[in-house]
Amino acid sequence: MAISPPYPPYPPHPGGPAEGVPLRHAHWWRRRSVRYGALITLLTLSGLVILALVREQTGTEGFLVGLGLAVLPVPLLLAAFRWLDRVEPGPWRNLVFAFAWGACAAALIAIVANSFATRWIATATADPAHADTLGATVIAPVVEESAKAAAVLLVFLFRRRDFTGLVDGVVVAGVTATGFAFTENILYLGNAFGTDQLTGDSGIASVTAATFFVRIVMSPFAHPLFTVLTGIGFGLSALSADRRHLLRVLFPLGGLLCAMGMHALWNGSSSFGDFGFFTVYAVFMVPAFGVLTWLVVWTRQRELRTVREELPAYTAAGWLTPAEPYALGSMRARRLARDHARRHLGRPAARAVAEYEAYATSLAFLRHRGRVGRADADFVVRERELLNELWRRKDVARPALDHAARLTAPPPMPVPVQMPVPMPVPMPVQLPTQGYGHGYGSPQSYGYGIPQGYGYGYGYPAGPRPAPNPYQP
């Protein structure tokens, strides 16, 4: 296991080996193209089959109505997961694969497996109603969550560099579940529309309106919420050290079991009585959604703090300017840097700044893993690759990030001015006149005596009085 050095070596001279070093090996494209080709073929065939099955069940008109209604929450969910992934954004191809897997492959597996299992139970028990209930509460959660988890597993195994923590697991799992829910909603809404066509219902009292309210308005986050638990399990596995093999397996399995359990509770809520659905929704679904949202947002803030804490080591070595760690650790400063580059140098410059921010974030996370003893064996190679990518884009990114740092830097705290405290000036003490005589208390008294008083006095201050001087006049 590689351990990160206290300070990386100083960057080479511009135009040296840092320029033009690719992040991937030159021969890698061949094997990657074969994988991509096979994967695209599989997803395309799955999409065509699922399209034919859904259209057969709903009809052409029902399919179009279901498609138009089911697509409404998709942009909002995808934007939410993309927002969570802004600190270290993963490649678009991972998200496209996750959505396509959920909408095509996972949905096809779920339709075929659920139908087969429900028919087998109905044939074995001769009770179709019981078979439908058992299929919805037991078979469907196991089959659907396993099919969606397969996408998270594939990204975890084959795109390991892009899967480094909780947020990556949440985003991949959530996007996969969004694609799955999209296809499932087409099926449910299309069937509901077909039922309304047969019964003649329309408007708010129709089955289509009720289905739309439950699946699109009230619970568009249901499937993403279930599968996010699996993603958290894979995220914890990614954060575990390589030597903890048992934990790296138990975390994903535990997350998958939690996803199946919550999915089963949600599907079985309709059998808990008239208010079972609303009870499960209010007591379990909404609080779970709130807790997971808080967890992901907190994790995002922790990632920004990691960037601010780890990058100063590269500032000391000369790879970054002193202002960059602060700017890269602020989402507002990152956005201002991209806008500044786009406004002055065009879209290619803004894209270069965005890539610079992504590579710097990956570098901070890599160094953090090395500092806590969780670095992979290729730590040094990966660190050099990321530093080279930063060095190639520094001429465009550094001025933009410095500008953003100046705009977002907190104002300096005013230093309180301490006024000098005047030293106390001793007031002159006027002692009474020493003398012997008598007077009547007037300032203009005759003789040497105390100004106030009648009688004799020696005029000395308080304290022991000395013996009178017989030679004093």
Given a contact cutoff of 8 angstroms between Cβ atoms, the answer to whether 333 and 279 are in contact is no
The encoded tokens of residue 210 equal 């009720």
Predicted local confidence at residue 45, as pLDDT = 94
What does the alpha-carbon distance between residue 165 and residue 180 come to, in Å, rounded to a whole number?
Answer: 23
Cα gap 414→437, rounded to integer Å? 66
pLDDT in tens, 193-242: 999 888 887 778 789 999 999 899 988 999 999 999 999 999 999 888 66
| pLDDT value, residue 177 | 96
Instruction: Give 338-367 pLDDT, tens digit per residue.
Output: 999 999 999 999 999 999 999 999 999 989
Class of residue 324 by CB neighbours under 10 A (exposed 0-12, middle 13-18, buried 19+): buried
d(CA 388, CA 384): 6
Calculate the average pLDDT of the chain: 81
Provide the residue ranges of all domains of the chain, joining segments of one domain with +: 33-288, 313-408
β-pair partners for 455: 439
Distance from C-alpha of 8 to C-alpha of 311, rounded to nearest angstrom: 11
Q: 238 near 169, Cβ under 8 Å?
A: yes
Q: What is the mean pLDDT of residues 401-420?
A: 72
- Kindly report, residue by residue over 297-334, the tens digit of the pLDDT: 888 889 899 999 999 999 888 899 998 999 999 999 99
472 token code pair: 């004093």
What is the percentage of the chain residues whose pLDDT exceeds 70?
Answer: 78
CA 468/CA 454 separation, integer angstroms = 19
Q: Which distant-in-sequence residues (6+ apart) come within 8 Å of 98 by Cβ?
A: 151, 152, 155, 172, 173, 175, 176, 179
pTM value is 0.77
Buried b (16+ CB within 10 A) or exposed e, 370-395: beeebbeeebeebbbbbbbbbbbbbe
Tell which residue, 204, 151, 141, has the closest CA to residue 174: 151
pLDDT tens-digit profile of 92-127?
A: 889 999 999 999 999 999 999 988 888 888 888 767
Burial class (CB in 10 A: 0-12, 13-18, 19+), 329: buried
Angle between helices 245-267 and 140-158 (to 10 degrees): 150
Q: Which of 211, 215, 224 is nearest to 79 (CA)?
A: 224
Q: What is the DSSP letter of 465?
A: P
Q: Check if the beta carbon of residue 172 is closer than 8 Å to that of residue 163.
A: yes
Distance CA 401, CA 415 (A): 28
The secondary structure element, H or E, covering residue 335 is helix 331-345
Whether residue 450 is predicted with pLDDT greater than 60 in this model: the reply is no
The 3-state DSSP class for residue 438 equals strand
Crossing angle (nearest 10°) for helices 28-70 and 166-199 = 40
33, 155 contact by CB (below 8 A): no
- Among 392, 399, 322, 386, smallest CA distance to 360 is for 386
**Among the listed residues 158, 60, 38, 163, the one whose alpha carbon sits nearest the alpha carbon of residue 105:** 38
* pLDDT exceeds 80 at position 2: no
